[in-house]
Amino acid sequence: MQRRRASALVLLVAGVILAAACTSTAVVTQNGPVVTVFGGYRGVEAERFAASVAPFEEQTGITVSYVGAGSFAKAIEDRVANADYPDVAIFPQPGLIQEYARQGILLPLDEETQATVTQYPETAVGTVGDVLYSVWFRASVKSLVWYEPQVFAGQGYEVPSTWDEMMDLTSRMEIDGYAPWCLSIESFGATGWVGTDWIEDIVLRQSGPDVYDKWVAGEISFEDDQIIAAFETFGEIVHQPGRVLGGTQRILNTPWTQAQDPMFESPPRCLLNRQGSVQQAQLPSWVTIGKETDSFVLPAMDEGEPPILAAGEFAAAFADRPEVHALLQYLATPEAGAAWAAAGGFVSPHKAFDSDLYGDDLDRRVAEIMNRAAVIRLDGSDAMIPSVGTGTFWTGMVSYIRTGDARTVAADIQAGYPEVTHFPEVPVSEG
């Protein structure tokens, strides 16, 4: 008789999940009015936000009580689902503002705040229909390419001024034995956004701001030839063997935060990294901007000022109280960012912002780039409806990098739009 016996005990430590949060309150036992603010700033950023609203608190006696969540987009969705609204939320995704405004959960800006915002036309971007819902508080620029100036000087490379020059430079780097591009996109649950930034930058350059706006609004399909063409332009970089360090494998599996690290090896293993001003926080501590690395604006297709893809945070109100509107009105003024700009890590969307207030050189340069740009557009995926912008567009970028099949990917992304493409009219109530 044969007897076999097998047994197994499997102990699973199922998934370690990380979450982070941050709070700041100037006064603990408050007698005056309190405005609760919910956002994504944590750690140093939360402290600097608190410093930014301190003058407001002093002037008005209103207390700003801030809570920041690491996974803001999910947290605000949960709060909205439970009708547990903060007074003010600071959204990195204008798309969420659009959605909540359409649902009638968010309040339009009151008349005084609208007047303040329209006083600085460049900041009046938070409209749903014709109604202003949000205040653009902090800005960042996405359309930058990071490089190593010493390698450029040593090899005789020049900063390209057109897209073709940039592709010629790419070829020259390949001939010189380098993998030209440092590109990796892994970003936990948000993997894909680095790729969407590329497509947006290319659409803006190849097809212009009008097509871009219609595409972001859902009026031009992902399956439109102009959008397919943008994927293919991106494909000339990601799908040409040898152009990106480590190929598809590294692009998809390496955290975006480490994309540029091989540039700082000796000899450098890649030479160009298209990434926004957020890259500053990812640079190794010994790297100085202007010395070991620097950035140029991703060139336009032709000579001329390139359009700028921008992002940032936008404040909007869930509660209709005078102190809430007072805070939004304050956040709409250039003064609101002064403390943060001095500490570094803040770019004001206001053209009127005094550039002497910047304590950080990169912040000042980014502000200059924004002031000079003739065309500025907000990050499209942040502004698209979330099921596409932070849904199928993200996953679609992973598929496209893996397969290179632009048409199929475009159809899959487009499928993220709900059946009804026309939203009901927004109920307009005057604050």
Partner 1 sequence: MTPIESIWSKIREREPWTDEEREQTLDELFPDDEKIIPYLKRFATLMILSTMIAAFGLIANSAAVVIGAMLVAPLMTPMLALAASLMYAQMRRFMGSVTVIILGTLGAIATGWLVSRLAAGTLTAGSLSPELLARTSPSLLDLGIAIAAGLAGGYVLTHKGAGSSLPGVAIAVALVPPLATVGVALEFGAIEFALGALLLYTTNLIAIVLSASIVMFISGFVPDYVRQIARGHLGLRLLPWGLALLAVTVPLGLHTKSVLEDEAFVKDVTTAVEEWDPQAEILEIDADRSGSRATVSMTVATTTSDLQPAWKLAESITREYGIDLDLDVRYQRESTDAASTS
- Work out how close the CB of 64 gets to partner 1 at its nearest, in angstroms, rounded to a whole number: 12
Q: Dihedrals φ, ψ of 175, to 5°? A: -60, -35
Strands 308-317 and 135-141: antiparallel
Q: Dihedrals φ, ψ of 39, to 5°? A: -155, -165
CB 398 within 8 A of CB 225: no
Please identify which residue in 1, 18, 83, 420 interacts with partner 1, judged by CB under 8 A.
18
Query: Whole-angstrom Cα distance, residue 98 to residue 91?
Result: 11
Which residue has 């596409």 as its token pair? 388
Please identify which residue in 1, 2, 6, 430 interacts with partner 1, judged by CB under 8 A.
6
Please tell me whether residue 10 binds partner 1 under the rule CB under 8 A.
yes
- Work out how close the CB of 38 gets to partner 1 at its nearest, in angstroms, rounded to a whole number: 8
Of 29 and 421, the one with the shorter C-beta distance to partner 1 is 29
Which tokens go with 70?
């690491």
Please identify which residue in 1, 2, 12, 130 interacts with partner 1, judged by CB under 8 A.
12
Enumerate residues 151-170 that contact partner 1 by CB under 8 A: none
Please tell me whether residue 83 binds partner 1 under the rule CB under 8 A.
no
Q: Dihedrals φ, ψ of 69, to 5°? A: -115, 140
Buried b (16+ CB within 10 A) or exposed e, 153-181: eeeebebbbbbeebbebbeebeeeebbbb
Residue 336 has what DSSP assignment?
G
Closest CA to 68 of 18, 25, 16: 25
CA 87 to the chain's CA centroid: 23
- Work out how close the CB of 365 gets to partner 1 at its nearest, in angstroms, rounded to a whole number: 27
Please tell me whether residue 139 binds partner 1 under the rule CB under 8 A.
no
Binding segment toward partner 1, per CB under 8 A, in 9-17, 368-376, 380-388, 402-410? 9-17
Please identify which residue in 32, 43, 104, 418 interacts with partner 1, judged by CB under 8 A.
43
Angle between helices 193-206 and 208-216 (to 10 degrees): 140
Neighbours of 239 (CB within 10 A): 16
Please identify which residue in 5, 81, 424, 430 interacts with partner 1, judged by CB under 8 A.
5
Closest CA to 181 of 232, 243, 264: 243
Please identify which residue in 1, 2, 8, 210 interacts with partner 1, judged by CB under 8 A.
8
Please tell me whether residue 21 binds partner 1 under the rule CB under 8 A.
yes
Of 36 and 293, the one with the shorter C-beta distance to partner 1 is 36
Please identify which residue in 1, 17, 83, 420 interacts with partner 1, judged by CB under 8 A.
17
Binding segment toward partner 1, per CB under 8 A, in 13-21, 323-331, 343-351, 358-366? 13-21
Query: Whole-angstrom Cα distance, residue 338 to residue 353?
Result: 9
CB 346 within 8 A of CB 337: yes
Contact mark string toward partner 1, 274..313, x via CB under 8 A:
-----------x----------------------------
Closest CA to 103 of 326, 389, 313, 385: 385
Please tell me whether residue 119 binds partner 1 under the rule CB under 8 A.
no
Closest CA to 69 of 52, 54, 53, 84: 84
- Work out how close the CB of 315 gets to partner 1 at its nearest, in angstroms, rounded to a whole number: 17
- Work out how close the CB of 297 gets to partner 1 at its nearest, in angstroms, rounded to a whole number: 33
Please identify which residue in 31, 33, 35, 46 interacts with partner 1, judged by CB under 8 A.
46
Which tokens go with 73?
């987009």
Please identify which residue in 1, 28, 81, 175 interacts with partner 1, judged by CB under 8 A.
28
Of 70 and 404, the one with the shorter C-beta distance to partner 1 is 70
Please identify which residue in 1, 2, 29, 267 interacts with partner 1, judged by CB under 8 A.
29
CB 53 within 8 A of CB 330: yes
Of 21 and 105, the one with the shorter C-beta distance to partner 1 is 21
The residues binding partner 1 (CB under 8 A) are: 3-25, 28-29, 38, 42-43, 46, 50, 65, 67-71, 75, 78, 285
